[in-house]
Amino acid sequence: MALPLEQATRLTASLGSPPPLMSWSEWASSLDPESAQSRLQDLSPAGTPKWTRYIPHEPHPTQWAFLLLDSVLEVFFGGAAGGGKSDALLMAALQYVDVPRYNAILFRRSYADLSLPGALLDRARDWLEGTDAHWNDREHTWTFPNPEYDATVYKDGATLTFAYLQTEKQRHRYASADFQFIGFDELTTFTETMYRFLFSRLRKTEDLVVPLRMRSASNPGNIGHNWVKARFVDPGTPDAIFIPSLVHDNPSLNISEYLVSLAQLDPVTRARLLAGDWNVRDQGMFRQAWFSLLDMAPRAALKTVRYWDIAATEETDDNDPDWTCGARLGLDPRTRLLYMLDEKYVRLGAAGVEALVGSTAKLDGVETVIRMEQEPGASGKSLINYYSRHVLQGYDFKGLPSSGSKEARAAPFASQAEAGNIHIVNGPWVKGFFDEAEGFPMVEHDDQVDAWSGAFGELMRGNEVRSQTYIRPMAAEVIRR
């Protein structure tokens, strides 16, 4: 939930009272920066955040509120670009590094994200080089002197680690670790399962006098936009706090020049990065409401095709490969309606994919046509030849080279969905399909849409369906829910 006005007012009582119906963030950002900073200095000790000498500058008003919430387990600092989010996370991580055995960790989605100029690693180096904190390059960890000894003793000293979670499996690297502070920068680049798993690492011994804190920051947008918005923004998880932040909340930023840069962006991205708008979204090619959901397939005899989009790379800790998807689509010759009957969606190596394709063909029966996307070049032809002779002999099988963009191939299928001509037989795969389809083509993986579009294209060879409408090219428009 957003930080309640009453609570925010208590946290920053010396700033005065915001006008009615104005959020704390809007009010704080409307203050003259010098006036806001001078009033912040008048806060009582009870309203002053925990501080250490490793934090090199005073926080801006919204950062101040973020740092005060020690008693709250989960706080999200989000909104516009340039609002001081990364600084706020790094400050929060450093608040207790003068306490022995305190461990903090900050995540980005990839190491490249961590190491960009001005990103977390670079910023921490600027703050901590020249201090008595010690850097371990192999572990990406700063260790701080233990104040129970002298300044040269690091035994049991606090640590601040920088890490990344590029794949789902990488979260298990931390299965035996203990942290008292966990921070996610650009939370919308992560999956919800990654975020929720790390709560299991947030723990401490009874004698360690520090709060447990899960902190995150992000702009709107990206693959995790929907779950982050649902958890924090509207209405949000009851015990989690959302602190909105706008570009004007950061008086150290050259706002006039930054606004010129943001003005060059498309309307959706500009609304997210300038206004911190969580309701604006890109227009995807599909809508869930276009599809009719059925409990079982129709009894009518259907003409069916199973189309495979093969990706034979197994998931490891260090990759995020495409998925193998096999989509079975049916056409009712009498009504000319289409039925999405079944989907196989897996990450397996070559042998596993081969076994799945073979066993699925047996379950579908010889009456189901089987098609497979044929990759360019000799390797693509070789794979199709292998499946013809060793896996799918006796079935109506062939490889089909793809042509045109993914969006162009998906457009006729989307048009039929929009016209109400496609029904889905409910199954455990349906939610995952909608998650991908409603974001397509702005998604990390589009293997399901590729497979269903391929099945539709093959099924329609020489056939006509009820509607001849085709989807219009996507316009750069803003959709609000």
More confident residue, 79 or 371: 371
Alpha-helical (H) ranges within 24-84 are: 24-30, 33-40, 61-68
Instruction: For residue 468, give every residue at least 6 positions away whose Cβ sits within 8 Å of its Cβ, in sequence order, or none.
Output: none
Lowest mean pLDDT among 49-58, 63-72, 235-244: 235-244
pLDDT of residue 13: 35
More confident residue, 329 or 169: 329
DSSP 289: G
Asked if residue 443 has pLDDT above 70, the reply is yes
**Amino acid identity for residue 224 in this structure:** G
Asked if residue 239 has pLDDT above 60, the reply is yes
Residues 228-256, mean pLDDT to the nearest whole number: 73
Q: Which CA distances in Å does 280 have to 84, 182, 208?
A: 22, 29, 43
Residues 411-420, mean pLDDT to the nearest whole number: 90
List, for residues 182-223, the tens digit of each pLDDT value.
999 999 999 999 999 999 999 999 999 999 999 999 988 778
Lowest mean pLDDT among 148-152, 217-221, 420-424: 148-152
Q: Which CA distances in Å does 152 have to 130, 135, 149, 157?
A: 14, 14, 8, 11
Give the integer Cα–Cα distance in Å for 233 and 228. 7
More confident residue, 383 or 83: 383
Asked if residue 33 has pLDDT above 60, the reply is no
**Per-residue 3-state assignment (H helix, E strand, C coil) for 375-436:** CCHHHHHHHHHHHHHHHCCCCCEEEEECCCCHHHHHHHHHHHHHCCCEEEECCCCHHHHHHH
Asked if residue 253 has pLDDT above 90, the reply is no
**Helix (H) or strand (E) segment spanning residue 309:** strand 303-309
Asked if residue 23 has pLDDT above 60, the reply is no
List, for residues 284-337, the tens digit of each pLDDT value.
678 899 999 999 988 889 999 999 999 866 666 666 678 899 999 999 999 999
Q: Report the half-sphere exposure of 394 (CA within 13 A, side-chain side).
A: 7
DSSP 43: -
Give the integer Cα–Cα distance in Å for 381 and 377. 7
pLDDT of residue 295: 94
Residue in 445, 77, 78 with CA at minimum distance from that of residue 275: 78
Confidence of residue 377 (pLDDT cuts 50, 70, 90): confident
pLDDT of residue 464: 52
Confidence of residue 402 (pLDDT cuts 50, 70, 90): confident
Instruction: For residue 278, give every residue at least 6 positions away whose Cβ sits within 8 Å of its Cβ, in sequence order, or none.
Output: 78, 220, 225, 229, 233, 234, 272
Asked if residue 265 has pLDDT above 90, the reply is no
Cβ pair 245, 62 in contact under 8 A: yes
List, for residues 59-81, the tens digit of each pLDDT value.
888 888 899 998 899 999 987 55
Residues 32-47, mean pLDDT to the nearest whole number: 48
Share of the chain above pLDDT 90, in %: 48
Cβ atoms within 10 A of the Cβ of 188, count?
23
Asked if residue 395 has pLDDT above 90, the reply is yes
pLDDT of residue 321: 76
Q: Which CA distances in Å does 370 have to 126, 128, 297, 430?
A: 58, 60, 19, 21
Instruction: For residue 277, give every residue at least 6 positions away whose Cβ sits within 8 Å of its Cβ, in sequence order, or none.
Output: 220, 271
Angle, CA 196 vertex, CA 190 and CA 181 arms, to 5°: 90
Angle, CA 65 vertex, CA 61 and CA 71 arms, to 5°: 170
pLDDT of residue 44: 35
pLDDT of residue 83: 54
pLDDT of residue 84: 80
pLDDT of residue 404: 75
Asked if residue 270 has pLDDT above 80, the reply is no
Confidence of residue 252 (pLDDT cuts 50, 70, 90): low
List, for residues 448-475, the tens digit of each pLDDT value.
999 999 999 999 886 554 443 333 333 3
Residue in 331, 311, 338, 334 with CA at minimum distance from that of residue 424: 338
Angle, CA 214 vertex, CA 212 and CA 216 arms, to 5°: 155
CA torsion through residues 227, 230, 236, 237, sign: negative
